[in-house]
Structure 1
């Protein structure tokens, strides 16, 4: 049995996924307002808060989804299957543009890719029995991993890590910790993870590179990524991955801190007392993160321990504000937009990544240079949006906001007809 949904948490999730959609879909990656860009390396912009917020929210939701803390083999199987379904959704995103069948190309190939995509989405998001879900998720996972290491040229360098993959892993460990341990043990595990990660990154020499460091491509996390996932890493770096193996460990701590806040929200205290507690915790976490930043820089790509504390603290403060406004002051009229985004996060996460890939796969003649082809996304942006604006930053932002409006309409229809797609 699940507890009644906490509106403020759904609104927070909706705001986060909406912001993610905007920052991931500019009209031009060359023209982005600074707050909508990731920090170059160390540091934290509003965009760098999106991913940890989502993991924090997921952790916060765990006590609401599993209030009884009952644990048996059936519960364990559900956790495993849900984790792998999330993992496979993210993994398939990396495969979409690689799918090759015989000699198909152009629109026929795109249609086939979309057909396969809907089949995979139905298999992973469909409301089947646990037994069927288990068969389907292991079949899809086995097929994707086989292709990655099959030697087929189209898949030999496909990326294996990713955002949803990390979320699936964090969900698995966070859920098990919640069901099998008490709050004190959970916080102890989080502390050990953060200290151990700092120790590994700051004190262990890096094979082939020498002294411990926190620089791009030469740190311990990068070396582990390149050693274990060589050829299957982020295309922009090739030798390391921002969602890599070692840096996923501190992300688990982000999930645990979210569970900490979720358990406070479930206390039999007055709502004002809960607001005070979460607010104080948020401030403490932010301060601790800033202090740790002096020796272990806040860094999203490395998911440093200081980054975990800092972003979890800001997330706690944001949730405190929303909880007070919505659940204490009962001011809810403005929440509908964020609610429709918050109750259907996975469908947006998955298909908002598919649509740009599909648009990029459709080639048309360049109106300015007929002998040259451009993709449909570039055509829409360059010839229908850019001419309207004198500032390219505004044009790029308008495209992103238009895409968000497009998704808002879809999600409003889902919400109206009570269509909620759960993993």
Structure 2
């Protein structure tokens, strides 16, 4: 059964995941409209808002999920296991292309990978007792970590950080802070994390590189990634990771700010008063972020403190508008599409990442164009989408929209059948 929820928050989550799906799945990575690309380094495009918005929304949901603020061993175990399950889903996405160890004679590799995928998804998304959830989460985490450091060639450079991994860590620390502290302490902790990160990145010399700097591959965060994650980082950057160790610290502050907004939404006052307070906070965060960016540039890859304030401010403003329209003015007839995405975030996040990998493994030869076979996804795009458009940018966007529409149908069916999957 679906619990009582804040509709505007679900809609905001749904919108964010739709945008994530579109920007992650263009028809061609060489043909993308600028707003659907990440900033080259400093700066912030609409695409750079997706990840911090998701973390902000997750933080906002914490006070709604734990209204009584009861902390005991059972609650701690739930938080730990949920965090571990999210972490393992992200790890498995990184491992998917490397997996080849079932050894089932005569079975195609793709079928083996799909069997493993559904077993892992069932183990991490299934509704089991607390004890079984704990055993499964720790077992999968242990197996994947063992493979990464086993010395086996297939796994010696598999990536360990990732989007879901960062979300898991932020959820863990944000939830514990919410349960174990008051509002004043939470604000102080967020400020310490942001100021401390700024000081580390701009004042501490980088061993082997010299003075503190904010450049690719030579900053303190990159040094720490290379020190602890060597050979297990993002393949496109190799010597540092955009979801690395040090930059996860300010990401926790993103979650804390969301959690503070969640508490503001729960204040025992009128909804209009809440809207006024949220508007003021959102605008204030944006202004502070822009001011700080003069000395500490807005940068997603570094997750700079100015980026935290700026994106959290924009997230607060977006949520405020949705809250007013949906929960105050009660204009909600248009929200169903976003709701079906917003109430099943993990299943679409996980499987929408798996599906392109699967389609790439299915090879097809064009009967009139002999040569190297194309993966099914490339084949469909090049011979099914591209011929319909003169502009390659439009063709690439059309594929992304088609993919989002495909998932909309899947999620609509799940919603209609009241199938909601949570970690």
TM-score bin, normalised by smaller chain: over 0.9
- 2:364 match: secondary structure: strand
- 1:372 match: secondary structure: strand
The Cα of 1:372 is off from its aligned counterpart by 1.4
- Give the structure 2 partner of residue 194 of structure 1: 194
- Give the structure 2 partner of residue 16 of structure 1: 16
Whether the aligned pair in 1 keeps the contact of 2:100 and 2:112 (CA below 8 Å) is no
The Cα of 1:373 is off from its aligned counterpart by 1.6
- Give the structure 1 partner of residue 301 of structure 2: 301
- Give the structure 2 partner of residue 7 of structure 1: 7
The Cα of 1:374 is off from its aligned counterpart by 1.4
- 2:197 match: secondary structure: helix
The Cα of 1:354 is off from its aligned counterpart by 0.2
The separation in 2 between residues aligned to 1:106 and 1:21, in whole angstroms, is 35
- Give the structure 2 partner of residue 381 of structure 1: 381
- 2:224 match: secondary structure: helix
The separation in 1 between residues aligned to 2:124 and 2:67, in whole angstroms, is 25
- Give the structure 2 partner of residue 179 of structure 1: 179
Whether the aligned pair in 2 keeps the contact of 1:3 and 1:65 (CA below 8 Å) is no
Equivalent runs, 1:366-405 vs 2, <5 Å: 366-367=366-367, 369-405=369-405
The Cα of 1:3 is off from its aligned counterpart by 7.4
- Give the structure 2 partner of residue 135 of structure 1: 135
Q: Would you say 1:88 and 2:88 are equivalent positions?
A: yes
Whether the aligned pair in 1 keeps the contact of 2:102 and 2:112 (CA below 8 Å) is no
- Give the structure 2 partner of residue 159 of structure 1: 159
Whether the aligned pair in 1 keeps the contact of 2:278 and 2:320 (CA below 8 Å) is yes
The separation in 1 between residues aligned to 2:26 and 2:112, in whole angstroms, is 27
Equivalent runs, 1:198-277 vs 2, <5 Å: 198-277=198-277
The separation in 2 between residues aligned to 1:387 and 1:371, in whole angstroms, is 20
Whether the aligned pair in 2 keeps the contact of 1:160 and 1:232 (CA below 8 Å) is yes
Change (3 A) 1:107 1:309: farther
The Cα of 1:361 is off from its aligned counterpart by 1.1
Whether the aligned pair in 2 keeps the contact of 1:3 and 1:67 (CA below 8 Å) is no
The separation in 1 between residues aligned to 2:131 and 2:107, in whole angstroms, is 36
The separation in 1 between residues aligned to 2:396 and 2:53, in whole angstroms, is 24
How many equivalent pairs are there? 422
- Give the structure 1 partner of residue 168 of structure 2: 168
Per the normalisation by structure 1, the TM-score is 0.98
The separation in 1 between residues aligned to 2:371 and 2:29, in whole angstroms, is 25
The separation in 2 between residues aligned to 1:384 and 1:104, in whole angstroms, is 35
Whether the aligned pair in 2 keeps the contact of 1:231 and 1:238 (CA below 8 Å) is yes
- 1:241 match: secondary structure: coil
Change (3 A) 1:249 1:106: farther
Instruction: Report which stretch shifted further, 107-116 or 342-351.
Output: 107-116
- Give the structure 2 partner of residue 66 of structure 1: 66
The separation in 2 between residues aligned to 1:358 and 1:216, in whole angstroms, is 32
Whether the aligned pair in 2 keeps the contact of 1:59 and 1:262 (CA below 8 Å) is yes
The Cα of 1:106 is off from its aligned counterpart by 11
The separation in 2 between residues aligned to 1:377 and 1:371, in whole angstroms, is 17
- 2:144 match: secondary structure: helix
The separation in 1 between residues aligned to 2:245 and 2:366, in whole angstroms, is 42
- 1:373 match: secondary structure: strand
Post-superposition Cα deviations, 1:49-69, rounded to whole Å, max 9, x if no partner, equal 000000000000000000000
- Give the structure 2 partner of residue 321 of structure 1: 321
Q: Which structure 1 residue ranges, 5 or more long, are not aligned?
A: none
